[in-house]
Structure 1
């Protein structure tokens, strides 16, 4: 900010590195009405604040303090955290409070620290915003923007029959957020409909980066629930630890199928069953479709029958030719050939969304373009339209 204006008149206070206890957020957007109130109460001398006094002023405002937030009810429980709906006393906005229990000997779990360090650097319209970080002896609380639904609930509420135009808009938003992550060498690694949050405007945002960059994919959660295998690529199911960006793209394909058909693509309950479902539809892999597969000991031990690949169009009749082409490119066994998020965005499937959608700034919503609008979903329930304006039940299946 220029020295002629008070630094607090800037809506964003940036480059604020959190202190060692991570009690302050990296980048805070203060609402204009709150800034006015603040300036009326404390007219500042017109000179730039030092980093120390800037940090102090944020602390005075109430950032990094638990008493700044009111808990409104539990949204879900997961591996290492509990998520509550809350409200900020500062801004009156709804927030999601993710409370991470700290084991005394160990301090914060590495997954939590990883999630914080990744998320505080991600600023994108299709990635959930981390507003604040609060650190106490027993708890690390991450304060996220609140979104009132997720893709699983959205599908439930429209009787699993989405408008194909809406499928395309959700798909584009998912790929947009993912492409931003992948360019920064960040993998999500746990893509599933429950981790794609959706607000009343129809904006879709990636959430739950708890597994991002973790070295192995757990099979059980903290509360001993089974982690779903449905969106996991066959290379990972067969023991590959070569994790790179294609790991997320298989899940994107499964999610496209699920939005277009209203049912999960490969709902296996064990690794063997999951692989069997994949091979039955996509064909049992061969050296041609998956170089090196014939040397994979795990694959050989299962003794799968030789299935021929089926035509996807017979399974996803509502998806147009371009959509089927994109789906096939996402579900390739050979990770080197599987389409990337960035390449997917320019696929002909998205041509109908227009040219301007490709030149949006990272932090602008696709709905800032007047030509991009959701339609009414055909399968809406009697009381529940799947129109995103309709309020939905507030249950979050938060698998953390």
Structure 2
């Protein structure tokens, strides 16, 4: 339900031609009832602004897509989809999926280890990116995402959705609107898709957080739990 709300929010702002550009768990507000809201639009930009004026110095490193790490400034809504994909895996895995500690090079290494090394065939224009270096895409055995994030295979359709969001080639990433229609969300009530924009999905009868999840949030707010937010997704 959290991921559905996140994608619903992204679909709305993308339809309004707005890029968030700094999605991370700390910028998602969740009430004790389970209502999720996007927060901190300090780096947000309208897509009507000429793309050459965009910056590659956006998005917290762990949630920054490989194209931006390589200096791309002509990104679109795909920048938010990558970040949302990282958050999605973090919800399931219980920890950040690409937690680099020493900068861009290591961050790319962690991405390649999980998704495989891209080539010009899988990512047209890769070698023309400003920060491209052949050493960054040296030969390495590709791995499936679930090898690094083993819990994905335990949740029906989770690996497929994560893979469609965490695609190195930016234009290959699924849109937020299409992601909402993914089979991962099939267990949710169909009435959720009829809720008007600006209205909470929690207004749908029967849609609510399980009591134990509410208790976790209450404990977190009181400071009784010291773990990271990823433990409470």
Q: Same fold judged by TM-score > 0.5?
A: yes
Q: How big is each residue's C-alpha offset from its partner over 1:299-324, in whole Å with a ceiling of 9 and x where there is no partner? A: 22544432233222332325424111
2:26 matches 1:194: yes
Give distance in 1, aligned partners of 2:5 and 2:187.
15
Match of 2:97 among 259, 265, 283: 265
2:195 matches 1:360: yes
Q: Which residue of the partner structure matches residue 327 of structure 1?
A: 162
Offset at 1:389?
A: 4.9
Of residues 233-242 and 355-364 in structure 1, the stretch that sits farther from structure 2 once superposed is 355-364
Matched residue SS, 1:197: strand
Q: Structure 2 vs 1, CA of residues 376 and 285 (structure 1 numbering), >3 Å: closer, same or farther? A: farther
Q: Which residue of the partner structure matches residue 316 of structure 1?
A: 150
Q: What is the TM-score of this pair, normalised by structure 2?
A: 0.83
Give distance in 1, aligned partners of 2:54 and 2:120.
27
Q: Which residue of the partner structure matches residue 171 of structure 2?
A: 336
2:221 matches 1:392: yes
Q: Structure 2 vs 1, CA of residues 218 and 336 (structure 1 numbering), >3 Å: closer, same or farther? A: closer
Offset at 1:361?
A: 1.0
Q: Structure 2 vs 1, CA of residues 303 and 337 (structure 1 numbering), >3 Å: closer, same or farther? A: closer
Give the CA RMSD over aligned residues.
2.5
Gaps of 5+ in 1: 1-168, 220-226, 395-400
Q: Is the 8 A contact 1:330 1:338 kept in 2?
A: yes
Matched residue SS, 1:260: helix
Q: Which residue of the partner structure matches residue 77 of structure 1?
A: none
Give distance in 2, aligned partners of 1:184 and 1:171.
20
Bigger relative CO (Cα 8 Å, ≥ 6 apart): 2
Match of 2:131 among 295, 298, 304: 298
Gaps of 5+ in 2: 46-52, 224-233
Matched residue SS, 1:205: strand
Give distance in 2, aligned partners of 1:283 and 1:190.
25
Q: Is the 8 A contact 1:268 1:277 kept in 2?
A: yes
Q: Which residue of the partner structure matches residue 87 of structure 2?
A: 255
Offset at 1:370?
A: 2.3
Offset at 1:372?
A: 1.8
Q: How big is each residue's C-alpha offset from its partner over 1:18-43, in whole Å with a ceiling of 9 and x where there is no partner? A: xxxxxxxxxxxxxxxxxxxxxxxxxx
Q: Is the 8 A contact 2:88 2:162 kept in 1?
A: yes
Q: Structure 2 vs 1, CA of residues 298 and 240 (structure 1 numbering), >3 Å: closer, same or farther? A: same
Matched residue SS, 2:187: helix
Matches within 5 A, 1:171-182: 171-182=3-14
Q: Which residue of the partner structure matches residue 110 of structure 1?
A: none
Which structure carries more strand by proportion? 1
Give distance in 2, aligned partners of 1:229 and 1:304.
19
Q: Structure 2 vs 1, CA of residues 200 and 297 (structure 1 numbering), >3 Å: closer, same or farther? A: closer
Q: What is the TM-score of this pair, normalised by structure 1?
A: 0.50
Q: Which residue of the partner structure matches residue 185 of structure 2?
A: 350
Q: Structure 2 vs 1, CA of residues 240 and 296 (structure 1 numbering), >3 Å: closer, same or farther? A: closer
